[in-house]
Amino acid sequence: MKFVMAKEIRPITGSIGMIDAAAAPTAPSAGAEVFYTEALRELAKLDLPFLLAGTYALSAYTGVARATKDLDIVCKPTDYPRVLNHFRNLGFTVAIEDERWLGKVFQGEHFFDVIFAFWHGMAPVTDQWFESAPRIELFGTPMRVIAPTELIWSKAFVQLRHRYDGPDIAHLILKQHDQIDWRRLLAYMELHWEVLLAHLLNFRWAYPSERCCVPRWLMDELVARLNTQLELPPPRVKICRGRLFSQVDYATAVEEWGFVDADQDSE
């Protein structure tokens, strides 16, 4: 079942930061749409901050419409137990998939994710995530949608053999470059600036006529860091930071080749 977001999202008179979504994903079924509608209404009753993320957010910003299997809800780590308990008390099935970052709410075959951190707890959701999040109305419920800056930050390390979010980031830069807080994004990725540079180079290669979408000062800063790093010797500790992308795909480096995880103590 495919539905058009423009019919679901209506501007609310007097609201600040309301956006008209460019498109919506294809819902798994009519039953899933009913489930999402009820879930969002119940979330609104909790009176705690949450953000719509995932494929719905990507479609709203870029117009890329594709199938989705669930709904992604983002909240702060201190709030996720309240979300799960609320739905459990209503008779839904809840689960904590990973206490570092992910819970789930089920009703039969339908579910939504409750995400309170990214990359297995490395980047918790903070108040800052809500500061510039615009508002939309989805299935009759007004809510905030994750801002383009944080959406890129949440996708930057999704680089597995079966899933790579690089194209999503490229499309976000293309369509929302004027809404991205580039200095905040750089601050988020301060220790991982090479990952940011890789995504920006990917964008430049994919859309060469749109290179100006990325601020010149940012490219100058990252290239300067690269040139400075090239003058330094390599690290003495054999670290495989690829494990931040995928524990499975880089397992051999740790298990057989003598590398250690980025978060593993070294002697």
∠ CA 152-141-84, rounded to 5°: 70
pLDDT at 12: 33
pLDDT band at 17 (very low <50, low <70, confident <90, very high): confident
Cβ contacts of residue 110 below 8 Å, gap of 6+? 28, 31, 32, 35, 36, 70
Answer with the residue of higher pLDDT: 19 or 147: 147
Q: Where are the alpha helices (DSSP H) in the chain?
A: 5-8, 30-45, 54-62, 80-89, 128-131, 148-155, 166-176, 182-188, 193-206, 216-230, 251-255
Pairing of strands 51-53, 71-74: antiparallel
Q: Is the pLDDT of residue 259 over 90?
A: yes
Q: Tell me how far apart the alpha carbons of residues 103 and 28 are, in angstroms, rounded to a whole number.
A: 20
Q: Is the pLDDT of residue 45 over 60?
A: yes
Residue-wise pLDDT for 112-169, tens only, equals 999 999 876 778 999 999 999 999 888 888 899 999 999 999 999 999 999 999 999 9
DSSP element (H, E) containing 112: strand 110-115
Q: Is the pLDDT of residue 36 over 70?
A: yes
DSSP classification of residue 16: S
The type of residue at 169 is: I
∠ CA 212-213-217, rounded to 5°: 70
Q: Is the pLDDT of residue 10 over 70?
A: no
Cβ contacts of residue 69 below 8 Å, gap of 6+? 28
Q: Is the pLDDT of residue 58 over 90?
A: yes
Answer with the residue of higher pLDDT: 6 or 244: 244
pLDDT at 197: 98
Q: Is the pLDDT of residue 11 over 50?
A: no
Q: Tell me how far apart the alpha carbons of residues 243 and 261 are, in angstroms, rounded to a whole number.
A: 6
Q: Write the DSSP string, 145-197.
A: E--HHHHHHHHTT-B-SS-B-HHHHHHHHHHHGGG--HHHHHHHTGGGHHHHH
By the 8 A CB rule, do 120 and 98 touch?
A: yes
How many CB atoms are located within 10 Å of the residue 166 CB? 16
pLDDT at 264: 67
**Range among 2-11, 13-22, 93-102 rated most confident:** 93-102
Longest dimension (CA), the chain: 61
Residue-wise pLDDT for 241-255, tens only, equals 999 999 899 999 999
Please say whether the dihedral angle defined by the alpha carbons of residues 179, 181, 185 and 186, taken in this order, is positive or negative: positive
Residue-wise pLDDT for 192-221, tens only, equals 999 999 999 999 999 999 999 999 999 999
pLDDT at 4: 35
Segment 68-90 shows an average pLDDT of 95
Nearest Cα neighbor of 169 from 57, 49, 37 is 57
Q: Is the pLDDT of residue 8 over 70?
A: no
